[in-house]
Every structure is written in structure tokens, then in C-alpha cells.
Amino acid sequence: MSMSGQVSVKDNKYKIKGDFHHLELGQPIRNADDDWHLLGITNPRTMIHMHSYGGEAVFFESLSQGKLMAARCDNGKCENKGSIYQPFRTICPDCLVKMTPFDMTDLAKKTAKIHTFMVCERSGAFNLLDKPIKFINIEFDGVCTILFSYLAVGEPKMGMRVVPIFQKKDPTYTILDLAWVPEGTKADQLPRGFSF
């Protein structure tokens, strides 16, 4: 029995096991308007990619622990010293010096509000979110950027106070482990696997 591809890292090298692709023959594409002459071929392909989060791995790991990590430039020589970035990034875009990661969960709980939003009725292939998807951009006091995420409960409104929730049970280790709900939402209203 085949096993879906799995990856770990040892000695800074990828170690892979299992199947990373599945074989399937293509099918001819024929022209129904022209005596079924051949026009082309389908190319089926299932393949697993590997991807490194690099220095941002701490952000995605922390979501599964109920923490929202941000980054702050502490370089005294930077003209924008003290700037806080969410989305998390490892390097200051101004001075290119490594920034300081810090836990901004409390700041988010106290100050997050919706800057803009979008209720999206459609999705692309491989979508894991329920539709309609309620995209929100969230602003925080003292943070110079505006995080893109989604509202898991309720209807979005500009200026609405929201708080973060985290998929601590069965995390996906993706950005989907972070969602937001209106301030005052009860724990029993949260989606399965999520908690404050």
C-alpha cells in the first residue's frame, strides 16, 4: 500500500519517504465538430511539493500554541526603529537587520479591528474554507501594517472589534490556523478545533 509523501529534515537535508507523485495516463482530446479528429491530450498530474517557511516558521508554529507572533525593528540606527510588523517578517524592510520576534496576542485581543473586508462567494481549486469566505484585513494599535485573515463567526463590518482564535487542536500549520471572531463571541460558538 502506498504512503503519501512525508518529509523531515536531518543534518539540514530533506529526508523524504512515501510517494510524491501518482502515475496516470492522459486522455485524448477530440473535436466533436470535426469527425472526432485529435486536437490534444490531457496531462494528469498529482505531485507533492516541499516548502520551507524559513525564518517565519516560528509564526506558523506559534499559531498552533495560541500565540500571534509579530516582529519589531530594534535597530538603533534604523530610521523606522520601533516599527512593528504583522504580517510577521524576519528582516526590517528599511535597514535589512534581523528584527525581534515578540508575542502580540494580548495587543491583538485588546486593539484589533477590521480595516476592510470582503465576503467572497467563490474560491479556487484546493480551497479548504467554507463559503462564503469572509476575508478581513485587521489593523492593530502601534502596528504599521494590516494583516489579511478571515472572520470565522458573524458578519464583518469596518471598524468592528475582533479577537484572534487559534486552531490548537489538529492544526494545519498554515495561516488557516488563525481566524478572528467579533469581540464578545462565546467559546462554544467557535469552529471545531479553534479556541481563544
CB of 179 to other proteins, least distance (A): 10
| Burial letters 175-188, b for 16+ CB under 10 A, else e | eebbbbbbeebeee
CB of 148 to other proteins, least distance (A): 4
CB of 115 to other proteins, least distance (A): 7
Which one among 23, 76, 125, 186 touches other proteins, defined by CB under 8 A?
Answer: 125
- β-strands 113-120, 100-103: how paired? unpaired
Residue closer to other proteins by CB (options 2, 142) is: 142
Closest CA to 7 of 175, 173, 194: 173
What is the footprint of other proteins within residues 79-108 (CB under 8 A)? Answer: 80, 83, 85, 87, 89, 94
Nine-digit cell string for 87? 504580517
Which one among 28, 127, 183, 195 touches other proteins, defined by CB under 8 A?
Answer: 127
Q: Could you list the residues that contact other proteins (CB under 8 A)?
A: 29, 31, 39-40, 43, 51, 53, 56, 60, 80, 83, 85, 87, 89, 94, 115-129, 131, 133, 135-137, 144-150, 158, 174-176
